[in-house]
């Protein structure tokens, strides 16, 4: 039993192989005389974290996706807001039309080129594999 009165599976007489702790995992922590816990010695094995090398291609694809999705979200927002403004203020449709002529055309061009470039580069990558 530990200091809390809970049976410790490592020292109990009926401990089986199933109840034994897995190496590398902490099952209990014992405080030192000064009340501190040394976490460095709690692990039985030196377990290194799994890492993967930095990949420029993976980061580039992630950024391309974020830009494409951001532009699509911006386009959707402009469409929804313009529809709401037409519904709320039908008497100001001429001003809204003039604003959309300035904003909508370049936005469509940006979204089209960004998504075309994104999906075009994905298609080339799948063909190369």
Q: How confident is the model at residue 98 (pLDDT cuts 50, 70, 90)?
A: very high
**Residue 58 pLDDT greater than 70, yes or no:** yes
Q: How far apart are CA 74 and CA 81, in angstroms?
A: 11
- The SS3 of residue 96 is helix
Query: Of residues 35 and 119, which shows the higher confidence score?
Result: 119
Residue 107: per-residue pLDDT: 92
Residue 28: per-residue pLDDT: 59
In the predicted model, what is the mean pLDDT of residues 67-78?
A: 91
Displacement of CA 82 from its chain's centroid (Å)? 31
Q: How far apart are CA 72 and CA 114, in angstroms?
A: 9
Q: Single out the residue of 30, 24, 37, 35 nearest to residue 11, CA to CA.
A: 30
Residue 91: per-residue pLDDT: 92
Say if residues 89 and 103 touch (Cβ distance below 8 Å). Answer: no
């Amino acid at each position: 039993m530990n200091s809390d009165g809970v049976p410790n599976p490592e020292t109990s007489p009926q401990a089986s192989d199933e109840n034994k702790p897995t190496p590398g995992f902490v099952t209990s922590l014992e405080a030192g005389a000064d009340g501190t816990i040394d976490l460095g010695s709690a692990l039985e094995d030196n377990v290194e974290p799994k890492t993967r090398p930095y990949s420029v291609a993976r980061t580039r694809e992630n950024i391309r996706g974020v830009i494409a999705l951001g532009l699509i979200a911006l386009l959707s927002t402009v469409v929804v807001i313009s529809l709401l403004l037409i519904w709320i203020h039908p008497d100001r449709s001429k001003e809204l039309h003039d604003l959309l002529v300035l904003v909508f055309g370049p936005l469509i061009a940006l979204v089209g080129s960004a998504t075309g470039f994104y999906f075009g580069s994905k298609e080339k990558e799948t063909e190369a594999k």
